[in-house]
Amino acid sequence: MKYALLLLIIFLGASSCQEEHAWPADKQEAFLETCGAAMGIPEASPDDYCHCVLDGLMERFPDSLHTDNMPQGVFDSIALQCLKSN
């Protein structure tokens, strides 16, 4: 989980200077493309899980810029909820 959180923060932080939109489509697509492998989840449900995590992040942080300082516990909580629901 720590590795996945680090990847997410780096990814969002690196592109945040270029974007003015809250959660641009390209950020969403890039997260979904790398999510399953980074999280190490079973092959059976990566799409559902990754969409769930992305939805949780967008709900908790309406602007993707705010994920730069996101506490790990927040990410872990969202990820755990998604694992339980899938």
Would you say residue 18 has pLDDT above 80?
Answer: no
Task: Over range 4-26, report the average pLDDT.
Answer: 60
Q: Tell me how many degrees the CA angle 31-35-38 measures, rounded to the nearest 5.
A: 130
**pLDDT tens readout for residues 38-84:** 766 665 567 888 999 999 999 999 888 788 888 899 989 999 999 88
More confident residue, 66 or 36: 66
pTM above 0.75, yes or no: no
Question: For residues 33 and 71, what is the distance between their CA atoms, to the nearest angstrom?
Answer: 23
Question: For residues 43 and 16, what is the distance between their CA atoms, to the nearest angstrom?
Answer: 30
Domain boundaries, the chain: 2-85
22 half-sphere exposure, CB direction, 13 A CA radius: 9
Task: Over range 19-41, report the average pLDDT.
Answer: 77
Task: Over range 26-36, report the average pLDDT.
Answer: 85
H-helix segments, the chain: 2-16, 25-39, 46-60, 72-85
49 exposure class (CB count in 10 Å sphere: 0-12, 13-18, 19+): buried
